[in-house]
Amino acid sequence: MENLMSLWRLPWSGDVMQAINPWSWWTNAMGQFGLINISTAASANPALEREITGKVASYGRQLGRMTDTVYALLAHQDQSAWSPAERRGVADFRRMADAIYAVKAGHAAPTDAALDELLDGIRFLKERNAPEYERVVGKLRRGLDGIRPEPQLLPAPRRPGKKR
């Protein structure tokens, strides 16, 4: 008879592996966690899908990049031979994409706190990684040059006693 102890793994005794993830316990038990859930149950390879969304790009990032690509491709298409329904579909897509870009721009707008955090990060780079600091500051300068407003010329001051 085989040694019974070889069939059991006692605590701290060897290659016991268990995923400890309370979120997966909750969602697996309840079936849903939140208003929108994406199920990998119908996927041919759920583990691969989780790895892609966890390590490469979330579903939102994937959709965002596809939206950017389709938007760019449509900008270079001659739509003169397209049916009215196809043109409406493209117009609907562009309206949707523009609305998404507007929402994203609102979330990306700089705040004092975000600027302070950015400056702290740049100071950190200056102290710890000079080449990366130079790269980041150069990119920031180039970006700011593109949005710098033109200087406004003020009218010449009037001299007292002179009529114009």
Of 70, 61, 58, 77, nearest in space to 96 by CA: 70
User: Which residue type occupies 15?
Assistant: D
Domain chopping of the chain, boundaries: 44-109, 110-144
In the DSSP assignment, the letter for residue 53 is I
Per-residue pLDDT of the chain (164 residues; tens, 9 = 90+): 455 555 555 555 555 555 566 555 555 555 555 555 556 567 889 889 989 999 999 999 999 999 999 999 998 999 999 999 999 999 999 999 999 988 888 777 778 888 888 899 999 999 999 999 999 999 999 988 877 666 666 666 666 665 65
Contacts of 132 (CB under 8 A, 6+ apart): 125
Is the entire prediction scored with pTM above 0.75? no
In the DSSP assignment, the letter for residue 163 is -
How many residues appear in the chain? 164
| CB distance 70 to 93 below 8 Å | yes
